[in-house]
Structure 1
Amino acid sequence: MKLEDFLAQVPQGDLWVFGYGSLMWSPGFGYKQKRLARAYGYHRALCILSTRYRGTHRRPGLVVGLCRGGSCWGMAFLIDAAHVRVALTRLWNREMPRRVYEPRLVLVRLRGGRLVRALAFLADPGHPSYVRELDVHGRARLVALRLRGGRLVRALAFLADPGHPSYVRELDVHGRARLVAQGIGIRGPCVDYIQNTLAHMHHVGVRDPHLERVLHAALALRENQRA
């Protein structure tokens, strides 16, 4: 999919965008509302090999994608209709250079109970950089998102694409921790990325036990390497 094709599929008017990783704490675009939200039918997973932002081709890091199954807390951002094209162009250039994600509109519930459709970036299970946890398949789409407070909305999310070359398959917690511990890219260490993501989640009162376990194991690996 090209940027123009993507923009042509986006509904007219204001647009919600669902962030579940670095978009939560560094969206990179202007917005008029920011709400805690929950997407249903998808979960956050450390499933994308990072060879630029948080790693290199020789020593890749690992970043999150949105995969099928379960639910996921994140942040929903409402973009004014007049600024949607500029914001989505920035998002496309940031999230889609390797096409490891697929943008989709998903249902999300906003804090307060309202259900909206939001743009999210789903992981592509067919991509070579996809790291598989289970037999899951994902695409970028509109997902159901529940905001804290109960409101359910549909939000566009970029789901990880398991078919993409950067999708990492069949790694346990320790295998993922090794990638997190080693990865350093143009935006810094992969460990910092995970710490920032978890810190933002903790600030709004939500947790991700799996991500916490991976971070703990990665920090332990780094300490052992220094010893």
Structure 2
Amino acid sequence: MNEFWVFGYGSLMWNPGFPFHERISARAHGYRRALCVRSWYHRGSEAEPGLVLGLDHGGSCHGVAFQVAAEDWPETLAYLRERELVTQVYKERRLRLTLADGRLVQALTYVVDRQHKQYAGALTVAEAIDIVRRANGHSGPNDAYVLNTVQHLRSMGIRDKWLEGVANGL
């Protein structure tokens, strides 16, 4: 039987938007959660970009894996592509995950494209705070996104000291 898994590392963890029949903590190795994508739509504009999360190279990332039923997979995949590939700043990838119960699975996820013009690279906490404070997009102010993300991560037992540093400076 084919298994269909999706890995969430940001808002997808608490707002997946698709049906699933299993949700479990998971870790992706070789990638880390980073506020490294210049948002031109949801949390900023091209003139005043905001910052949103991306899965970037290096380290490991604690997130959530969702198992999707085979009959729901085509609709789920279409939904995720519409949600995540708005400006093509992410690349669709399948990564090996270690689930909280020890199982190893392959999951679909979205990794930032470091060659894309929206890739912000490594920013200092002060640089990120300055960008986040000023930005506002179709989905609302950028500071609300960062504060909401940190709150949700904490409620799930996930600590991200760098992102928390940004939130504390807002």
**TM-score bucket of the superposed structures, by smaller chain:** over 0.9
Distance in structure 1 (CA, Å) of the matches to 2:104 and 2:152: 23
Asked if residue 191 in structure 1 is aligned to residue 143 in structure 2, the reply is: yes
Asked if residue 123 in structure 1 is aligned to residue 116 in structure 2, the reply is: no
Residue aligned with 1:131, SS:
coil
Aligned to 2:156: 204
Asked if residue 175 in structure 1 is aligned to residue 164 in structure 2, the reply is: no
Distance in structure 1 (CA, Å) of the matches to 2:18 and 2:148: 18
Deviation at 1:13, TM superposition (A): 2.9
Residue aligned with 1:125, SS:
coil
Query: In structure 1, what residue type is equivalent to 2:160?
Result: D
Residue aligned with 1:35, SS:
strand
Deviation digits for residues 180-209 of structure 1 (CA, Å, limit 9, x no counterpart): 111211111112212222222211212000
Identical-residue share of aligned pairs (%) = 43
Distance in structure 1 (CA, Å) of the matches to 2:166 and 2:38: 15
Asked if residue 74 in structure 1 is aligned to residue 82 in structure 2, the reply is: no
Distance in structure 2 (CA, Å) of the matches to 1:188 and 1:24: 19
- Aligned ranges for residues 17-36 of structure 1 at < 5 Å? 17-36=6-25
Which has more radius of gyration?
1
Conservation of the 8 A alpha-carbon contact between 1:181 and 1:190: yes
| TM-score, normalised with respect to structure 2 | 0.95
Residue aligned with 1:27, SS:
coil
Deviation digits for residues 41-100 of structure 1 (CA, Å, limit 9, x no counterpart): 100111100011111122211001111110011111111011111011011011102110
| TM-score, normalised with respect to structure 1 | 0.72
Between 16-25 and 184-193, report the one with greater CA deviation.
184-193
Which structure would you say has the larger RCO, counting Cα contacts within 8 Å and 6 or more residues apart?
Answer: 2
- Aligned ranges for residues 40-59 of structure 1 at < 5 Å? 40-59=29-48
Distance in structure 2 (CA, Å) of the matches to 1:180 and 1:25: 21
Q: Which runs of 4+ in 1 moved over 3 A?
A: none
Deviation digits for residues 98-148 of structure 1 (CA, Å, limit 9, x no counterpart): 110001110111111111111110000000110111xxxxxxxxxxxxxxx
Between 76-85 and 177-186, report the one with greater CA deviation.
177-186
Q: Aligned residue pairs: how many?
A: 170
Conservation of the 8 A alpha-carbon contact between 2:150 and 2:167: no
Deviation digits for residues 148-180 of structure 1 (CA, Å, limit 9, x no counterpart): xxxxxxxxxxxxxxxxxxxxxxx3211111111
Aligned to 1:149: none
Distance in structure 2 (CA, Å) of the matches to 1:85 and 1:56: 31
Distance in structure 2 (CA, Å) of the matches to 1:186 and 1:196: 16
Query: In structure 2, what residue type is equivalent to 1:71?
Result: S
Please tell me the root mean square deviation across aligned C-alpha atoms, in Å. Answer: 1.2
